[in-house]
Structure 1
């Protein structure tokens, strides 16, 4: 849409044209992948090709790839199906992890939103009940990258399994299951240019012990019952293949895209702080995703900012975009110890490879104008903009 600045890529990346085309082709076909006739075999072949692509993207065995209805179900399958009665999750996990298991223990983070590794070790040492630890690779709200490999080493030394929600990684971070050292990895298609409504749980072993949470069928090697979403799976596979192509292109692929997003993100933050001295950039002392900025405007509630920006054609989020359109206080920012006047006044700006300087300026113009209307001090640079 002309005149619209879409700066909410962490909530969902626009579907790639090749993905849409491949899905349209599948939707025009007939065939249940569990059927043994020609149409069924064709559908099965499409699913297995996508499975192989996802496995290659993560550096895993295709037999350890389980398709689900999305990242939320994949996270639930890992936490509920792992066979461990004790579950520990970081304080900044997505709600689909934090709310997946009743009674899950919380691993604290520091003021930068980084997992407290010493606290993790203490928690595991205090109770020898077989456990699973869940730590995300990068936070969806702040972009802060977690020390997953270090957490995995600590957890494994204490006999625990490790799950990692890596939904925000593709196109922004390298992804390697063995390098991370985790037992389970979650990916979501709509975070990487695929369709919404399809995700995957990937194990480090093809014979992983995983009990299904959906019963009533033998699909996905009896790990997830239900007729497969063929079109969604195919779209996911195409998105994964395209992602690998960009990675293989090196400097002309993902590297340049990541650098471009980082430059725009850094420009946005520098300009925001120069124009509105009261602005706060959350998590900027930590290593972050290149595309993500969590920006607070103290005194102006996040929901007010989101609505005001939307009226100006600028789309951002407050917190995670997974609450049926609700704008609620951020659990993540509260866990980082931020005061309410900051935690309740932060919006997330998340860029994509096609984001432009014009979109950044559109955000800044609308955001600074709002700050001025709310009585905040605005610098001369903003007055001249």
Structure 2
């Protein structure tokens, strides 16, 4: 039973159907424009790029095709900071960013840039939130968001780049990009948006246009692995290429294009966009169903991350977290032990990219949890192919496993 859709998603069968001709018959190199098969593929790739730009709400922008979000993030951060005409020496990144961003920032710090971490809104541990209570304070809904006052104070004319995570990969927080973008524009700083978890999951058009650079990966929205993109809302933005050796994509990213992957990504994004209006509230309801069943079976269960109202919001501005994300603490029981007790259930104790590390999640400790609380937590990612029956089974299995393990806690 797969409930780890933040780590990756199944490829939609309709995406596979779109990709197969590019593997069987239309397999020419998009760079081989000296013959008709190559020109057909080049035209197909251009069509896919224009389609994706439109779906992302940035028809006037440029899309650099990459191997995935990690490469896109590397191109965004190193491409901006290391451009020879770029003279500013400060970089701001969110404290709860994905490791792809944090490791790039560390490398830039070693090269002489001053990197500052932006604090996030943390838990008020004196407040217990009932998800059905719509009269709770605003703070629980904003857990994990960048503290705008901290950003305003940190921004000055020496900041070249601000990198913010739109949808947190562990606790699901959706950042309100409007005030962030306004502050960056006022100071002339480039804004990079890591939208890896948000593209195809929430409406992005207006949000993407507020950033200068947007990174994403197809396998997070039911597309193939190994392909992604870096959206440049200003096509004239200057970036230093990180992969050279052929001059493809206007010298921004050399290498033979993954034609079947690109076609699959475009199809996946189109399907996600078409189904968003119906899919978001369905997945939102499944997340609430899982939470309610778990909290009635396990005393003291606690939510990590932003609260939500029971009814799906009519205005996207009132969506504080990714619809399918649920991250909770199981009091007194180690999350890894709980997973081992339910081997048929695929969930995680943190980001898939840091699962091999022994340290507790920097995201959970970053919102105020202790290391012990972080280790008692699990992340659920509910997606397109999950059903209410699966949710009920998962809750039942976890409640049983918890009841078995808590007996051994003194």
How much does 1:335 deviate?
Answer: 0.9
Structure 2 SS opposite 1:288: coil
- Counterpart in 1 of 2:339? 306
Q: Gaps spanning 5+ residues in structure 2: where? A: 110-114, 123-142, 309-319
- CA offsets per residue over residues 196-241 of structure 1, 9 Å max, x none? 1111000111222111011112111110011111111111111122
Q: Aligned to 1:352, which of 383, 393, 406? A: 383
The answer to whether the 8 Å contact 2:56/2:208 transfers is no
Task: State the match for 2:256 in structure 1.
Answer: 227
- Taking the TM superposition and a 5 Å limit, the aligned residue runs for 1:193-272 are 193-246=222-275, 254-272=276-294
In structure 2, the partner of 1:278 is 300
Alignment partner of 1:315: what SS?
Answer: coil
2:121 to 110, 115, 131: 110
**Does 135-144 or 81-90 show the bigger shift?**
81-90
User: SS at 2:188's partner residue?
Assistant: coil
The TM-score with structure 1 as length reference comes to 0.89
Secondary structure (helix, strand or coil) at the match of 2:406 reads coil
Aligned pairs for 1:1-385 (under 5 A) are: 5-28=1-24, 29-36=26-33, 37-61=35-59, 64-83=62-81, 85-102=89-106, 103=109, 104-111=115-122, 112-125=143-156, 128-176=157-205, 180-246=209-275, 254-285=276-307, 287-309=320-342, 311=343, 313-323=344-354, 328-375=359-406
Please state whether the residue corresponding to 1:216 is helix, strand or coil. coil
Q: Is the 8 A contact 1:86 1:132 kept in 2?
A: yes
Corresponding pairs, count: 363
Conserved 8 A contact 1:319-1:328 = no
> Per-residue deviation at 1:153?
0.9
> Which ranges in structure 1 are unaligned for 5 or more consecutive residues?
247-253, 378-385
Runs of 4+ in 1 over 3 A off after TM superposition: 177-180, 323-328
The 8 Å contact of residues 217 and 229 in structure 2, kept in 1 or not, is answered as: yes
Partner of 1:380 in structure 2? none
Q: CA RMSD in A?
A: 2.0
Residues 209 and 233, structure 2, Cα contact 8 Å, conserved in 1: no
Take 1:141 and 1:314, find their aligned partners in 2: how far apart are those partners?
18
Contact 2:12/2:223 (<8 A) preserved:
yes
Paired with 2:358 and 2:226, the residues of 1 have a C-alpha distance of: 22
What TM-score, normalized to structure 2? Answer: 0.84
CA shift at 1:355, angstroms? Answer: 1.4
SS of residue matched to 1:138 = coil
Q: Check the 8 A contact 1:79/1:87 in 2, yes or no.
A: no
Does the CA contact (< 8 Å) of 1:64 and 1:208 recur in 2? no
Shift of 1:305: 2.4
Secondary structure at the residue paired with 1:82?
helix
SS at match of 1:96: helix
Shift of 1:179: 6.2
Distance 2:28 2:40 in 1: 7
How far is the alpha carbon of 1:327 from its aligned partner? 6.5
